[in-house]
Amino acid sequence: MKTFQNLIEEVQTPGLCHHCGGCVTFCTAINYGALALDEKGIPHFSDRAKCIECGLCYSICPEIDELREETDKVAGWVPPMGRILETTVARAKDPVIRNQATDGGVVTALLIHLFDRGHIDGAIVTRQTGPFQRAPWLATTRQEIFDAAGFYLDSSAGMHHFGHDYSTYSPSVQEFRPMLQKGLRRVAMVGTPCQIKAVRKMEALGIVPSDSIRYTLGLFCSGNFHFGEDQRRELEQMGRFAWEDVRKVNLKDELILVLNTGERRTLPLEKLAAFKRYACHYCSDYAAEYADISFGGIGADEGWTTVVTRTPFGRAILADARGQNVEITDPKQKPDLPKHLQDVIKAASERKKQYAQKMHDALVASGGKPAA
């Protein structure tokens, strides 16, 4: 049986760790604290003698394909980019939510709808902790869900924040432990593709606390980015802006910065490749293929969100919120829209898969040890 030591050799050493926090979160909650995160958010042995070598940390790692068949079955995954029941564009009905949130604010609107209807007791999201800084957060009130809306540059690595190192990634899986401590049994989770996959793998294994995650809301992901002081100065020059003038940041098929004046600056993602988190170069999931619902701005008009329902749960959520908290484009007015959206998403998904395979092949050729 493979253990955390194998994760170090097969995932961390080649640089493939996504810092999702799944291995540490599970071990911390169940296995006496054998693992911990260092100051950079990297999993490590906290006390090796406490490790019982059960192998669960290895099995739930999203970079390991050990449980691929079981995970696919749990999520109902089918090629080439997961199960798709419906594809549309939508936005929050509440203009206050739309103004606060990214794109059309559908994720926030759905979470608030689920909370108001009594379907969830809380939601794992990210919240702003400072200028361009966000951290994983277990929201347990309507206001906390609303306050988490929007997309700013994050600076999360574990639960530690750094004044000079910003990242668009937030390790939301780590909020499982507070969820257990608070006794919450009905929680929605918003996460990146790797985080959602970690949850599905936990479901496949029947691991507590995955049974408390009632709904998974996945975000389209081109990759996550780190920005130190040098990188931020370089971005200022590339985009002709000053960080103190930036109000909001969004990632679609380009980096979009909204200034305090309302003016927009855009940068192609190809120019940001050097800033991308190393492990993201090897991730093949763009459209959150294992989620109940997937969301992103690609393919949608300004102020709207592209929504892909993937499971009956996801479809039911959207149907229940329609006309109450969420506006959905009438398919009779745009009958070709679903196909158009799927074509756009499929193209983006295929590009990411091909690039990830190219990077994996290069890693193998260089003597690395990819886990997938």
312 within some domain: yes
10 and 156, same domain (yes or no): no
- Cα distance between residue 214 and residue 47, in whole Å: 33
Q: What letter would DSSP give residue 10?
A: I
Are 290 and 148 contained in the same domain?
yes
* pLDDT tens digits for range 212-261: 899 999 999 988 777 777 877 888 888 888 888 887 777 777 888 888 89
Domain housing 82: 73-365
Distance of CA 86 to the CA centre of its chain: 21
Across residues 297-311, what is the average pLDDT?
Answer: 94
Alpha-carbon dihedral angle through residues 192, 154, 258, 271, given to the nearest 10 degrees: -70
C-alpha distances (whole Å) from 244 to each of 55, 233, 251 are 46, 12, 19
Q: Is 164's pLDDT higher than 60?
A: no
Reported confidence tier of residue 91, pLDDT bands at 50, 70, 90: very high
Tokens 């042995």 belong to residue = 45
Distances (CA, A) of 130 to 20, 127, 133, 314: 21, 9, 5, 32
Q: What is the pLDDT of residue 173?
A: 74
- Same domain, residue pair 55 and 198: no
Amino acid 40: pLDDT: 73
Lowest mean pLDDT among 26-40, 71-85, 234-248, 294-308: 26-40
Residue 272 in any domain: the answer is yes
Torsion angle (degrees, nearest 10) of CA 276, 279, 282, 288: -80
Kindly state whether residue 103 falls inside one of the protein's structural domains: yes
Same domain, yes or no: 42 and 176: no
Q: Which of 14, 37, 65 is the last residue of a domain?
A: 65
Q: Could you give the count of Cα atoms lying within 13 Å of 67 in the half-sphere of its Cβ?
A: 24
Average pLDDT over residues 170-187: 78
78 with 60, same domain: the answer is no
- Residue 89 confidence class, pLDDT cut points 50, 70, 90: very high
The domain boundary, picked from 30, 65, 100, lies at 65
Average pLDDT on 90-109 reads 93
Task: Check residue 282 and give its pLDDT.
Answer: 92
With respect to residue 53, please indicate whether it lies within any of the assigned structural domains: yes
Contacts for 57 with CB less than 8 Å, ≥ 6 apart: 3, 4, 7, 22, 23, 24, 26, 27, 35
pLDDT over 90 percentage in the chain: 46
Mean pLDDT value of segment 309-323 = 96
The residue ranking higher by pLDDT, 272 or 285, is: 285
Of 167, 193, 151, the residue nearest 290 (C-alpha): 193
* Cα distance between residue 171 and residue 191, in whole Å: 9
Give the pLDDT confidence of 4-38 residue by residue, as tens digits: 999 999 998 998 988 877 888 777 655 567 898 88
- Which phi and psi (to 5°) does residue 216 adopt? -115, 120
Whether residue 335 sits in one domain with residue 190 = yes
pLDDT mean over 86-106: 93
Give the separation between CA 92 and CA 42, rounded to whole angstroms. 36
Same domain membership, residue 252 and residue 178? yes
- CATH of residue 34's domain is 3.30.70.20
> What average pLDDT does the segment 264-282 reach?
86
pLDDT value at 41 more than 60:
yes
Together in a domain, 23 and 104: no
Q: What is the pLDDT of residue 319?
A: 96
Which of 132, 123, 222, 221 minimizes the C-alpha distance to 176?
A: 123
For residues 198 and 278, state if they share a domain.
Answer: yes
Do 348 and 311 sit in the same domain of this protein?
yes
Backbone CA torsion sign across 79, 84, 90, 96: negative
Range list of H helices, the chain: 4-7, 22-30, 56-60, 68-75, 95-100, 106-116, 142-147, 176-181, 193-205, 229-239, 312-321, 337-365
Q: Please indicate, yes or no, whether residues 128 and 257 belong to a single structural domain of this protein.
A: yes
The pLDDT confidence band at residue 346, using thresholds 50, 70 and 90, is very high
What percentage of the chain exceeds 70 in pLDDT? 89
- Asked if residue 371 belongs to a domain, the reply is no
- What pLDDT was estimated at residue 29? 54
Which pLDDT tens digit goes with each residue over 135-161? Answer: 788 999 999 999 888 754 333 333 233
Residue 285 makes CB contacts below 8 A (sequence gap 6+) with 193, 194, 197, 221, 349, 352
- In the chain, the number of structural domains is 2
* Residue 102 and residue 44 share a domain: no
* Across 261-279, average pLDDT: 86
Extract the tokens encoding 177.
Answer: 């432990």
